Amino acid sequence: MINFSILIKGKVQGVFFRASAQQEANRLGLTGYVRNQADGSVYAEVEGQEEIVEEFIHWCFTGPPNARVTDVYSEKGLLKNFKTFDIRHSD
């Protein structure tokens, strides 16, 4: 099991990115959360098997149909043992 923090930039708010990310994470069996950031980006933290997390990160480069992703940054972190994958409100 690994943990990754992911920051997605571009036209990623107002295009159902969070809901689509939750659907994709659930499909892949990942846990964690996704939230909008004040600067217009989307932040996600995911946990799961390494190959599956990599598949989710790859999905983030495209996102849902109306998204226009310009950059994706990911960084390995410490496991937090999330139980589900949630949509969280902005900080």
Q: Supply the residues annotated as catalytic.
A: 18, 36
Q: Which of 83, 26, 19 is nearest to 56 (CA)?
A: 26
Query: What is the maximum alpha-carbon separation in the chain?
Result: 32
